[in-house]
Amino acid sequence: MKTISSLILLLSIGATAIAQSGKNVENHQLTLNVLLPGIIYEQGLSQNSTIAAEATMGFAYRESDFLESGFGIYPIGRLQYRHYYNFARRLAKGKNIAGNTGNYIAPTIAIQGGKAIIGDLDYVSDYFGAIGAVYGLQRTGQKGLQFRFEVGPGYFFDEFESNFGIFLALKLGWVVRRG
């Protein structure tokens, strides 16, 4: 009887340790953006944290009586370390966390080209960079439809000037692979 009790205790401790070391985030997730074409790869690092790399397109339009009017589509690269902080609360309420559905905070680094790959609106700068932190929320449906919103302060710079501003992103896309 003592051996069975010891075995049950050992298995309970082992199961608890395994459950605590398991990740709440997806090990990896690939998402395609629809509104502004792009791709995001998110790699799980720890129980509630990921690193996300994004390659996407940005759009700018300018109409002016004093300057040349035009539009441009620019390449943008972003890197984020996301910490999802509300998974425990979502799970306690019986809500979904699949597809990294949750709220997060994320230090963010971004770089954008200054020359349009499509269009005629070229900037004087060859690049724009930004460093900041965002608050984000991401929701992934059962069929893979994903919505993401981010906002936060940032330090923006190019080779001529720098200033503070706001990161703002609204994304709609599909998760094409996760695991």
Which string of DSSP letters, residue by residue, matches 73-131?
A: EEEEEEEEEEEE--HHHHHHTT---TTT-EEEEEEEEEEEESS-SEES---SSSEEEEE
Residue 7 lies in a domain: no
Residue 167 lies in a domain: yes
Domain interval for residue 156: 25-178
Residue 9 lies in a domain: no
Residue 17 lies in a domain: no
Q: Is the pTM of this model over 0.95?
A: no
Residue 18 lies in a domain: no
On the question of pLDDT at 13 being above 80, the answer is no
Please write the tens of the pLDDT for every residue from 35-50. 889 999 999 999 999 9
| Cα–Cα distance, 116 to 75 (Å, whole number) | 8
Residue 85 lies in a domain: yes
| Cα–Cα distance, 60 to 161 (Å, whole number) | 19
Residue 48 lies in a domain: yes
On the question of pLDDT at 12 being above 50, the answer is no
Domain count, the chain: 1
In this predicted structure, what is the pLDDT of residue 17? 39
Residue 12 lies in a domain: no
At residue 22 the predicted structure's pLDDT band, cuts being 50, 70 and 90, is confident
